[in-house]
Amino acid sequence: MQYIDLIERITEGESRLSSAERRVAAAVLDGLPGVAFGTVAGLARSSGTSGATVMRFAEKLGYRGFADLQAAVRHELWDNLRPATERIRLRPPHDLLGRALTAELGNVQATLGEVDPASFETAVRLLVARRARIHVVAGEAAVGIAHVLAEQLAMLRDGVIVLGGSPVRVAGQLANAAAGDVAVVIDLRRYDRWLVDAVGVAADAGLKVVTLTDGPLSPFARGATVGFTVAAEGVGPFDSYVGALALVNALVAGVAARLRAGATKRLDRIEAAWRQAGALHLE
């Protein structure tokens, strides 16, 4: 079966939809995983419509019924989970630089554009809390992003810790965490199992959990104090972390703005130490 992007179908067919069918469309776009594994009755309830309206909506978009629509949604969700070993076998696109530019701009726009301002403020408030230590932890592929976040936060405030190493080491580090501390978790599809377990331990210990992951199907999204969805479309076989880095930059900027007076003095001391040690080539 050839699957055409669901959002494209809804956009192109919106003028043909009744007001009730538009409510179904909104409910579908707000909860794709629920549609993929739900029922006609469930979608009708979430959209405040009827089963008959849901069926008409699917047919107007060109599907043979709800089951066909559901199969398309499942296909799209599964497509996002394909491993690199499958993606590399796809025919390479022409104009890779152009495709990369489009994809990465889209990742940044989709990631930052979907951030809820209230959630962003909550995350920043957690990251500036003086009595809380910040524990940054990431899956193997996102370790670089975690270090960028941790190193920049550490130049703005005390108590920033990167969790890493073996699962035993991480468990030991978490044993010293206290209720009220913050765990920032960064990982995308095909999640590291040890990290899922570690985040569960952190939540059980009373840590506030801030997640940067790839959507509501992620095991990290469930139970997070505040979570952000990262768009990660890659042109090649691997996921892109450009959107995640853009979100990290925004969070650090938010922390710097909140801690401006103290952070300024802290950065001045760090800069003076670098100059005294001759650590940087400034010419």
Tell me the pLDDT band of 250, cut-offs 50, 70 and 90.
Answer: very high
For the question of whether the overall pTM of this predicted structure is more than 0.85, the answer is no
CB-based contacts of 96-104 (< 8 A; 24+ apart in sequence): 96/235, 99/235, 100/235, 103/233, 103/234, 103/235, 103/240, 104/240, 104/242
For the chain, count helices (H), then strands (E): 14, 5
pLDDT band at 144 (very low <50, low <70, confident <90, very high): very high
What does 66-135 look like in DSSP terms, one character per residue?
Answer: HHHHHHHHHHHHHHHT--HHHHTTSPPPSSHHHHHHHHHHHHHHHHHHT--HHHHHHHHHHHH-TT--EE
Q: Quick one: CA dihedral 18, 22, 23, 27, positive or negative?
A: positive
What does the pLDDT look like over 91-142, one tens digit per residue?
555 667 777 887 888 889 889 988 999 999 999 999 999 899 999 999 988 9
pLDDT average, residue stretch 140-165: 93
If one counts every other C-beta atom within 10 angstroms of the C-beta of residue 86, the result is: 11
- Please, are residues 231 and 247 in contact by the beta-carbon 8 Å criterion? no
Q: What is the pLDDT of residue 279?
A: 82
Is 5 a residue whose pLDDT tops 80?
A: no
All domains of the chain in start order, with CATH = 6-80 (1.10.10.10), 107-277 (3.40.50.10490)
